[in-house]
Chains A and B, each alone.
Chain A
Amino acid sequence: MNPHHHLDPSTVVSYAAGALAVEMAVVAATHLETCAHCRARVDEAERIGGQLVEHQQPALSSSRLADLRACMLEQLDAPLPPTPVAAARGAPYEDDDRLPTPLHPYFGTSYRALKWRWMAPGVHCIRAAGTRSGTLLMLKIGPGRSMPVHSHGGTELTQVLRGAYHDALGQFAPGDIADLDSGVEHQPVTVPGTACICVSALDAPLRFPGWLAQRLQPLFKL
């Protein structure tokens, strides 16, 4: 898998800084599992973070630091805990029933076990429980379907997991991420043949300009 659509640099910075909303971070982490290009960018942003932290002027009083230091020295004699084994990097998941690892806490581990809910003709969704703000949802859109034209009140981050869609920004296939802000109005159309499954994070309601879509919006709770 060699993604062609990547995270925006401003999203990379916020991800590395720990400043992304949870929903956004889950989708970004799903992309990072398969994208070496963006992993290297996050690494750069973390390096910047390390350097920013290192170049602060420390303010801790020396007596307090001495206490903490003594406390640390005492702990160095404790036996070392077993070294955690680094998790294997995301296996290719296109022909596999396994969901990307970052989605497990929110959607489970298996595509087959997903409990899709009907949302509109040809469109099913699952909303993640347990997130506090914003929206995290998986979407399954039938092949050759056209979604209503919409723009975004805030940011939409969408990672394609299976199938593909295209819109004015190009074709989005498995591994690709659409990092869209409020300036973008688009109408995704899924490619024929297979259903498109993606995971989306929204930090503000979508905006549907059409009257029909606006009427449907309260039903979708988007």
Chain B
Amino acid sequence: MPTDFTRRPPPLRAASPVSTPTPLTRDAHDWTADMLSVARARDRAAFMRLYDHFMPRLCLYLRGLGSPEAVAEELAQEALLRLWQRAAMYDPQQGAVSTWLFRIGRNLHIDRIRREPGWVQVLEEAAPASDEELARPFTSAEDYAEHVHLQRRIEDLPAVQARLMRMSYFEAKSHQEIADELQMPLGTVKSHLRRAFLRLQGQVRGQP
């Protein structure tokens, strides 16, 4: 019997990183500028600011994906070390520092758990989109405004969409695993995720 999530209080809202309201002022710090200082001048102070901000968050993310604490710490250290080592490859037009770290952390995690032949190659080959493919804001002020918009949209997601996004991003559950766990038809899982994604891209406004 499928559960009707729209009729009961959102079960994860209090605990969910997807829906926890966060003061946006904290993000006024310009991580891109720090990243560029690392790239251009090997600026250790800038790197350690990035480290202090992202290290605990990456640990939490990796633990959520199922890594034991020691493994999560090891992978997060590895991810941040790559940030230091490969800073010269960072291109602000290609996305925020958080996006870059997310990719690195995710790939390290998948590499660790899957141990499939060639798996990481598959991930690395699917290179990020190039500049001309992205309609991305170009100034840091526009980028920051976009960041704030996205955060608002995340906080405004309907409870069931937020829960499914959380299960995808923080527990790496497949559509079928989500369907099984929530006793929800597969097609419903997909349509919720589809709508959540379109909403977060700002393509859908108003009620779900």
Residues of B within 8 A of A42 (CB): 126, 128-129
Contact A87 B124 (CB under 8 A): yes
From B60, B96, B107, B190, contact of A59 by CB (8 A): B60
Chain A nearest CB: distance from B62 CB in Å?
9
Q: By CB atoms of chain A within 10 A, which of B101, B103, B147, B196 has the most?
A: B103
In the assembled complex, A57 has its CB within 8 A of some CB on chain B: yes
A70 to B51, CA, bound (A): 11
Contact B102 A83 (CB under 8 A): no
Contact A76 B47 (CB under 8 A): yes
In the assembled complex, A105 has its CB within 8 A of some CB on chain B: yes
Contact of A53 with B61 at beta-carbon distance under 8 Å, contacts A8-B190, A69-B48, A181-B190 already known: yes
Q: By CB atoms of chain A within 10 A, which of B121, B135, B198 has the most?
A: B121
A44 to B94, CA, bound (A): 11
Q: How many A-B pairs fall under 8 Å by CB?
A: 234
Interface range on chain A: under 10, 10 to 19, 20 to 34, or 35 or more?
Answer: 35 or more
Contact B17 A52 (CB under 8 A): yes
Chain A nearest CB: distance from B143 CB in Å?
11
Residues of B within 8 A of A58 (CB): 56-57, 59-60
In the assembled complex, A189 has its CB within 8 A of some CB on chain B: no
Contact B84 A43 (CB under 8 A): no
Residues of B within 8 A of A84 (CB): 86
Contact A48 B121 (CB under 8 A): no
In the assembled complex, A2 has its CB within 8 A of some CB on chain B: no
In the assembled complex, A63 has its CB within 8 A of some CB on chain B: no
A111 to B33, CA, bound (A): 47
A80 to B96, CA, bound (A): 23
Contact A72 B186 (CB under 8 A): no
A73-108 residues with Cβ-Cβ distance < 8 A to B are: 73, 75-76, 80-81, 83-84, 86-87, 89-90, 101-102, 104-106
User: Interface size on B (CB < 8 Å)?
Assistant: 87
Chain A 34-48: CB-based contact to B (< 8 A → 1; otherwise 0) = 001101101111111
Chain B 29-45: CB-based contact to A (< 8 A → 1; otherwise 0) = 00000000000000010
In the assembled complex, A210 has its CB within 8 A of some CB on chain B: no
Contact of A53 with B56 at beta-carbon distance under 8 Å, contacts A9-B198, A76-B47 already known: no
Identify whether the interface residues of B are mostly helix, strand, loop, or mixed: helix
In the assembled complex, A218 has its CB within 8 A of some CB on chain B: no
Residues of A within 8 A of B109 (CB): 18
Binds B, one of A20-28, A119-127, A158-166: A20-28
Contact B187 A183 (CB under 8 A): yes
From B96, B106, B107, B129, contact of A39 by CB (8 A): B129
From A10, A48, A64, A76, contact of B44 by CB (8 A): A76
Contact B127 A9 (CB under 8 A): no
Contact B169 A10 (CB under 8 A): no
Residues of B within 8 A of A8 (CB): 190, 194
Contact A52 B170 (CB under 8 A): yes
In the assembled complex, B165 has its CB within 8 A of some CB on chain A: yes
Chain B 108-121: CB-based contact to A (< 8 A → 1; otherwise 0) = 01100010111101
In the assembled complex, A173 has its CB within 8 A of some CB on chain B: no
A26 to B120, CA, bound (A): 11
Contact A154 B73 (CB under 8 A): no
Show the binding face of B for A, using Cβ within 8 Å: 17-18, 20, 22, 27, 44, 47-48, 51-52, 54-61, 65, 73, 77, 80-81, 84-86, 88-89, 94-103, 105-107, 109-110, 114, 116-119, 121-130, 133-135, 147, 150-151, 154, 165, 168-176, 186-187, 189-191, 193-194, 196-198, 200-201
Show the binding face of A for B, using Cβ within 8 Å: 8-10, 12-14, 17-22, 24-26, 28-29, 32-33, 36-37, 39-40, 42-60, 64-65, 68-69, 71-73, 75-76, 80-81, 83-84, 86-87, 89-90, 101-102, 104-106, 130-132, 154-155, 181-183, 203-204
